Amino acid sequence: MIKKRKRAYGFELLELLKVHGLSIKEGTLYPLLSRLSKEGVLSAQWEIAPDKGNPKKFYSVTDEGQNKAVQMKEEFLKMNQLLKELSNNRSIKYYEQ
Amino acid sequence: MNNKNPKLEAYLTKIDKALGSIAVSEKAEIITELKSHILSELSRNPNQNLDKTLASLGEAEHVANRYLLERGLSPSKASKHQAIKWAAFGLVGTLSVFAVLAMFLFTQLTPIIEVNEAEGRVRILGGLIDISDHTSSNSSTKKVDRSLQEREISGTASLSGKNQNINIPFANAILALNNSKDDKLSWTCKIEQDSKVKNFSLKEKNNTYNLDMSQVEGANCNIELPRDMKLSIHGSNGNIQIQKPAFDVDLKIKNGQVSIHPREDLDYSYSLDVTNGEVDGNFISSTNEKAKTIKVSILNGQIVNSKESD
């Protein structure tokens, strides 16, 4: 979601997730964003809008984060396929790494 | 919303403290971001108050613990303040339960003793024990007219010699103690129809007669005693009337009322003791050697001078 918007701040993400039916508590999201920043998956930048005084911490996906996202997507799709096959009672297909 | 709201600042300070070993610069970023979120929430939704926003975010310690867990650090333990708070809640709760229970028992078991002479009734511990002239009952729940369910038993005995001792043990009874006209010991009692007792046994041993009434609940008896006898009578619950006694009395009951009607032409030496209750009336003891001894001891109840109340 951050990648799609190029950058987003916490409050904005919460609103977006809510719109997509993924209601995450703010007490869960902010610590998660904090960890991903620390791991280098996300980069963060503080900005203060000229009209409003509240500083906002904008997150954007780093190159490392983009690579991880691709890997995770592949993993997810493999897992999804596996689960589909299991639920359809078909023989399990083994994927080469 | 004022950016320096004390409640908000207190909340953020709690998080800051609970973040523990996280670097100061990181702590500052976390606090700033959370504050920004709260203010954004409040400015986005003016109907939302600060308390709701903070509640939605979660307890300060819980929020801080999530940051610590995301970093692989041990979450902080519940503060002593919280532990003390819950301990205090527990203590107050327990004491409240005891207080309510004590109040309930107090209201249920008061008055300790209530004597209603008009109805001929003694109620003890708020009616837990109810002794009535009419029903011979020791329970306030028994309102059935028992006159139709009673039968009468009686007996007479000539006692050899004078200055004999007579023991009368009983359980719950209404007893009228009178002087015998023919110097015989006699008794006439009303007892429950279905009582297994046929009559009271009178046994003699070493110049002491034992009239055992302890197996009957709620007997209503008129007992006539020869002159100069030494009467020893003891039981649990009773209403005892001693009418112009020409005999010595040693009476001991746990609950009930004893009324004494002294004879004018006789002297008495009294020893009256009520632990919970009162001695109602004047009982003047004589120093005369020939004075009849009247010794009464009651745990819960009343001793009345019925001559004065006539």
Between B80-89, B93-102, B177-186, B281-290, the lowest mean confidence (pLDDT) is in B80-89
Largest Cα span, chain B: 112
- Structure confidence at residue A76 (pLDDT): 93
Please check whether residue B141 lies inside any domain of the structure: no
- Structure confidence at residue B144 (pLDDT): 46
State the Cα–Cα distance between residues B195 and B191, nearest whole angstrom.
Answer: 7
- Structure confidence at residue B252 (pLDDT): 93
Contact B36 A38 (CB under 8 A): no
Q: Closest CB to B34: pick one of A25, A28, A30.
A: A30
Q: Residue B169: is the preceding peptide bond cis (ω within 30°)?
A: no
State the Cα–Cα distance between residues B199 and B156, nearest whole angstrom.
Answer: 11
Last residue of a domain, one of B70, B99, B124: B70
Last residue of a domain, one of B104, B132, B160: B132
DSSP for B239-304, please give it.
EEEEES-SSEEEEEEEEEEEEEE--TTS-EEEEEEEEEEEEES-------TTPEEEEEEEEEEEEE
State the Cα–Cα distance between residues B204 and B233, nearest whole angstrom.
Answer: 16
Identify all chain B residues contacting A28, using CB atoms and an 8 Å cutoff: 66
DSSP H or E segment with residue B183: none
Q: Closest CB to B30: pick one of A32, A34, A46.
A: A34
ipTM rounded to 2 decimals:
0.77
pTM: 0.43
Contact A10 B66 (CB under 8 A): no
Task: Report the pLDDT averaged over residues B98-110.
Answer: 83
Q: What is the mean pLDDT of chain A?
A: 84
Q: Are B33 and A48 in contact (CB under 8 A)?
A: no
- Structure confidence at residue B16 (pLDDT): 92
Same-domain check for residues B64 and B23: yes
pLDDT tens digits along A2-38: 878 788 888 888 888 888 888 888 888 999 999 999 8
Please check whether residue B140 lies inside any domain of the structure: no
Torsion over CA: B3, B6, B7, B13 (sign): positive
Same-domain check for residues B95 and B184: no
Same-domain check for residues B43 and B99: no
CB-neighbour burial class of residue B206 (10 A; exposed 0-12, middle 13-18, buried 19+) = exposed
Share of chain A above pLDDT 70, in %: 87
Same-domain check for residues B64 and B86: no
Same-domain check for residues B176 and B229: yes
DSSP H or E segment with residue B191: strand B185-192
Amino acid occupying residue B222 = N
Task: Report the pLDDT averaged over residues B45-52.
Answer: 81
In this structure, what token pair is assigned to residue B34? 């959370």
pLDDT tens digits along B128-183: 777 766 544 444 444 445 555 788 888 888 877 666 889 999 988 899 999 988 88
| Distances B156 to B182, B235, B243 between C-alpha atoms, Å | 11, 22, 19
Eight-class DSSP state of B235: E
State the Cα–Cα distance between residues B62 and B70, nearest whole angstrom.
Answer: 12
pLDDT tens digits along A29-82: 999 999 999 899 999 998 887 766 678 899 999 999 999 989 999 999 999 998
What is the count of structural domains for chain B? 3
Domain that holds residue B261: 146-305
Q: Closest CB to B39: pick one of A10, A54, A57.
A: A54
Please check whether residue B95 lies inside any domain of the structure: yes
- Structure confidence at residue A12 (pLDDT): 87
| Cα Rg, chain B, nearest whole Å | 38
Same-domain check for residues B216 and B112: no
Identify all chain A residues contacting B70, using CB atoms and an 8 Å cutoff: 31-32, 34-35
Task: Report the pLDDT averaged over residues B71-94.
Answer: 78
Same-domain check for residues B186 and B250: yes
Q: Which residue has the tokens 């009651």?
A: B298
The CA distance from B40 to the nearest CA of chain A, in Å, is 7
Alpha helices in chain B (DSSP H): 6-18, 24-44, 50-57, 60-70, 80-108, 306-309
Please check whether residue B166 lies inside any domain of the structure: yes
Last residue of a domain, one of B70, B90, B107: B70
Amino acid occupying residue B249 = V
Contact A31 B40 (CB under 8 A): no
State the Cα–Cα distance between residues A82 and B205, nearest whole angstrom.
Answer: 102
The CA distance from A69 to the nearest CA of chain B, in Å, is 19
Q: Which of A44, A96, A45 is nearest to A65 (CA)?
A: A44
Q: Closest CB to B70: pick one of A11, A34, A52.
A: A34
Same-domain check for residues B152 and B174: yes
In this structure, what token pair is assigned to residue B23? 């670097």
Contact A54 B58 (CB under 8 A): no
Q: Which residue has the tokens 């010595």?
A: B248
Q: Closest CB to A31: pick one of B41, B56, B66.
A: B66
Mutation target among A43, A54, A57 for the B interface, most CBs of B within 10 A? A54
**Within an 8 Å CB–CB cutoff, is residue B50 touching chain A?**
no
Q: Closest CB to A26: pick one of B43, B56, B71.
A: B56
The CA distance from A93 to the nearest CA of chain B, in Å, is 35
Same-domain check for residues B237 and B267: yes
- Structure confidence at residue A20 (pLDDT): 86
Name B231's Cβ contacts closer than 8 Å, sequence gap at least 6: B166, B168, B177, B225, B247, B248, B249, B250, B251
Please check whether residue B310 lies inside any domain of the structure: no
Same-domain check for residues B259 and B157: yes
Interface of A with B in 20-59 (CB under 8 A): 25-28, 30-32, 34-35, 38, 44, 46, 52-57
Please check whether residue B139 lies inside any domain of the structure: no
Task: Report the pLDDT averaged over residues B226-249.
Answer: 91
Q: Which residue did the predictor score with more confidence, A85 or B125? A: A85
Identify all chain B residues contacting A35, using CB atoms and an 8 Å cutoff: 70-71
Coil, strand or helix at B130 = strand
Please check whether residue B137 lies inside any domain of the structure: no
Please check whether residue B117 lies inside any domain of the structure: yes
Contact B63 A10 (CB under 8 A): no
Same-domain check for residues B116 and B228: no
Same-domain check for residues B62 and B87: no
